[in-house]
Amino acid sequence: MVSLKRAEQGVTIIELMIATTIFAVILVIIMSAYMFVTKDYSKAYVEAQTQNATRSIAQQISQYIELSAGLVTSNDPLNGAFPLLAAADGTQGLCVGGYRYSVLFNTEIGNGTNDALVVDNLPNCNPLNTSAQAIKAGPLTSTSKELLSKGMRVGQFSVTALPNSSTPGSTVPAVPGRYSIKVEVAYGDDTSQSGPLHVSGAGYNYSYSCDTISQGGSFCAVSSLNTFAQARLSNQTE
């Protein structure tokens, strides 16, 4: 009779409070774990996307150099010289085998512009009569393609013709039509926007670094790639 009477009384307020507290603690642990996993996944995704963009740009340029007999104009990353005439908005450009690359350095896509590194098909691309596309002012040609995604920017972009003759002390083989390709891409808001991306440099040669901890829930990634390409066909070089 005693046990039956106690069962009819149900749970007490204290028991209910204890159960609620235990449930809340378990819920906090689950949510913390979920947020940690989500944050880790987002960071890895951003890093992978930035690396893929850098690799894709370098591979595309390499293919154009290797398979095209068109003009390849190289720029000098030491002094920032670009072969094509600069557009009114500061866009710089160069020709790679019948394709024109137009670039706005250290310009984050989505922060005042939808484009920062554009390639378009231009078989007669030549520094004597070709200018870079005005990315900000537009309009872009119908064959134009943006090579970066929202939140990304270009810090370094160079296609440099290597010497055709042996250079004393050089470890680079003396092969005609050989080019060095360097691309650096960063993702994230910079420190001027209270973001985690630190920017140094100027002109056509920027360097990036990231805070180890994200700020305000934003993430940062930097990817740099330096590779070489050999022209298989008869390229003309400027």
- Domain spans in the chain, listed from the N-terminal domain onward: 13-237
CA distance 227 to 59: 9
Decide if 224 contacts 51 (C-beta within 8 A): no
11, pLDDT greater than 90: no
Tell me, what amino acid is at 229?
Answer: A
- The answer to whether residues 199 and 151 touch, using CB atoms and an 8 Å cutoff, is no
Alpha-carbon gap, residue 120 to 45, rounded angstroms: 28
Q: Read off the pLDDT of residues 50-66 as tens digits, 9 standing for 90 and up.
A: 999 999 999 999 999 88
3-state SS, the chain, equals: CHHHHHHHHCCCHHHHHHHHHHHHHHHHHHHHHHHHHHHHHHHHHHHHHHHHHHHHHHHHHHHHHHHCCCEECCCECCCCECCCECCCCCCEEEEECCEEEEECECCCCCCCCCCCEEEEECCCCCCCCCECCCCCCCCCCCCCEECCCCCEEEEEEEEEECCCCCCCCCCCCCCCCEEEEEEEEEECCEHHHCCCEEEEEECCEEEEEECCCCECCECCEEEEEEEEEECCCCCEEC
pTM of the full predicted structure?
0.76
More confident residue, 188 or 167: 188
Assess contact for 155 and 206: CB atoms under 8 A. yes
pLDDT band at 217 (very low <50, low <70, confident <90, very high): low
User: Is the pLDDT score of 17 beyond 90?
Assistant: no
Q: Which 8-state DSSP code applies to residue 17?
A: H
**pLDDT tens digits for range 109-162:** 987 788 899 999 998 888 888 889 998 888 899 999 999 999 999 999 988 887
Q: How far apart are CA 124 and CA 99, in angstroms?
A: 9
Q: Is the pLDDT of residue 168 over 50?
A: no
Report pLDDT for 166. 46
Half-sphere exposure in the Cβ direction for 109 (13 Å, CA)? 21
Which of 127, 142, 51 lies closest to 92 in space, CA to CA? Answer: 127
